[in-house]
Amino acid sequence: MRIIPAIDIIDGKCVRLTKGDYNTKKVYSKNPLEIARSFEDYGIQYLHLVDLDGAKLKHIVNYKLLDKICSHTNLQVDFGGGLKTDEDVRIAFESGASQITGGSIAVEEAETFSRWIQSYGNEKIILGADCKNRKIATSAWMEHTDIDVVEFITKYVQKGVKYVVCTDINKDGLLQGPSFELYNELISKVNPNLIASGGVSDINDILELKKLGCEGVIIGKALYEGKITLTQLQELC
C-alpha cells in the first residue's frame, strides 16, 4: 500500500482544515517545500498536494509551489484543487505533477473529465470522490449533491478510471478513524485502486486499511499533530 502524506496549501502555507471548513484553518508551516523535503528524507516517495485556494476560486492557483516542490524533490506528486479546464491540467502537468485529481469537474462536466482520461491515460488522472453521508460533495465541499458515492465511483470505473481518492468529509480532520465500512463496501462491490483519505488517527488505522485492500492512504492531520511519526511511516515504506 502506498503511503501518501498530504500538504494542503492556502496563501502559500501548509495548513489543515476540519471537515473542509476554511474557518478552521490551522497553519503548520510557512515553508511547504521544507515539509516535502522532510517526507523525502524519511523514504517517502509520494505526495498529495492540494491547492485549497484553487478549490475555492475554481481554477489552479498554487502551480508555482507545485513546480518548486517537483523541482527540488523526487517526490511523485498528485495535485488537486480547482482543476476545471484543459489549461489548468496542462499547467499542473507542466509544473511537474505526476498525477492530477479531478473531483468537482467529474460531477459538473463529466465529458471534460472523461476526455482527460482518454488524453492523458488512467495512470495520470485520479477520480476524487468526496462525500458526506454517502452523497458526493463539490466546490471545496461547499456544495452537496444527491449522487451516491458508490454509484458515482462505479460509473467512472466502468469508463476506465483506475485510481480513486475517496474522502468521507464527516471523518476528515477529526482523528477518529477512517470510514472503514464505506471503503470495505467500495472494494467488495467496485474494486477500484482505492486511496483512502480522511480520519486516519494512528498507525493501526493504516494497517487496517491495508488489510481491507486499499491501494494507498493519504495522511494529513495525524502526521502534523504527531499522532503518527515520520519514523513510523519510514518503517512502513
The C-alpha cell of 31 is what?
515553508
- Which residue, chain included where needed, has cell 484553487? 54
In CATH terms, is domain 2-236 a member of 3.20.20.70?
A: yes
What sign results for the dihedral spanned by CA atoms 124, 191, 214, 209? positive
153-to-135, 140, 164, 193, 209 alpha-carbon distances in Å? 11, 19, 8, 11, 18
In the Cβ-directed half-sphere of 161, how many Cα atoms lie within 13 Å?
A: 29
Q: What is the pTM of this model?
A: 0.96
- Per-residue model confidence (pLDDT) at position 18: 92
The C-alpha cell of 30 is what?
510557512
- Per-residue model confidence (pLDDT) at position 196: 98
**Tens-place pLDDT, residues 170-213:** 999 889 999 999 999 999 999 999 999 999 999 999 999 999 99
CB-based contacts of 88, cutoff 8 Å, min separation 6: 54, 59, 60, 82
Residue 40 has pLDDT above 90, yes or no: yes
- Per-residue model confidence (pLDDT) at position 140: 86
**Tens-place pLDDT, residues 143-167:** 999 999 999 999 999 999 999 999 9
Residue 227 has pLDDT above 90, yes or no: yes
Which residues belong to the active site?
A: 8, 130
